[in-house]
Amino acid sequence: MIDPDEDLVRSAGAGDARAAEALVRRHLTKMVGVARRMLNDGAEAEDVAQEVFLRVWREAPRWKPGQAKFETWMHRVALNLCYDRLRRRREKTDPDAGVMVADSRPLASDEWLARQRAAKVQGALAALPERQRAAIALVHFDEMSNIAAAEILGISVEALESLLSRGRRALKAALADVAHDLMGGAERAP
């Protein structure tokens, strides 16, 4: 297995700050993106990404190439950190969590509709079980292959495909009215 990060990881493990910086530049957007989709919170996503790179810095000296790609390991760390945060959220059960405050500035109707749709999509994604959400995020948003996503999640490709199928069905059902609106508001059959 060829790992495009192997030399950078080895150098970062030896204390090369430039190599560590290159790893951050190469993977920061992906780590923030997967965390944002899992947590539905930009600030928390940035915190998760920061923790991922702290772990990269700590683990780089001990990294053994050949077992998995370093990027795969980073995605797994990011997902585990997200799972931990989601678990803590459930334990808190804050009644005000997830309450959105409307922006008081007037919005153009098209922009307002686009934001409403985006919020509905994000809400539907957030409502999925964690593993389905992770599978959807990795395959559809991060554009990973099923094989790579299954490896990150530590499951078989068949199990990943099952998660994707169930997640897609749930999203389709949750977003039926959004799809209807996007198709021009055609009349629904009774």
Q: How do residues 161-188 score in pLDDT, each as one tens digit? A: 999 999 999 999 988 876 665 555 544 4
DSSP 62: G
CA 119 to chain centre: 16
In terms of Cα–Cα distance, which of 20, 22, 27 is closest to 76? 27
Which of residues 95, 125, 145 is at a domain's end?
95
How high is the pLDDT of residue 1?
Answer: 67
In a domain, 34, yes or no: yes
CB 142 within 8 A of CB 32: no
Residues 75, 56: contact at Cβ < 8 Å? Answer: no
* DSSP-derived 3-state class of residue 68: coil
Q: Identify the pLDDT of residue 96.
A: 53
Decide if 6 contacts 71 (C-beta within 8 A): no
Domain range for 9: 1-95
Domain boundary among 42, 67, 95: 95
Residue spans of the chain under pLDDT 50 = 101-107, 186-190
Count of structural domains, the chain: 2
Q: Say how far apart CA 44 and CA 82 lie, in whole Å.
A: 9
**Percentage of residues of the chain with pLDDT beyond 70:** 81
Q: Are residues 148 and 73 part of one domain?
A: no
- Are residues 128 and 90 part of one domain? no
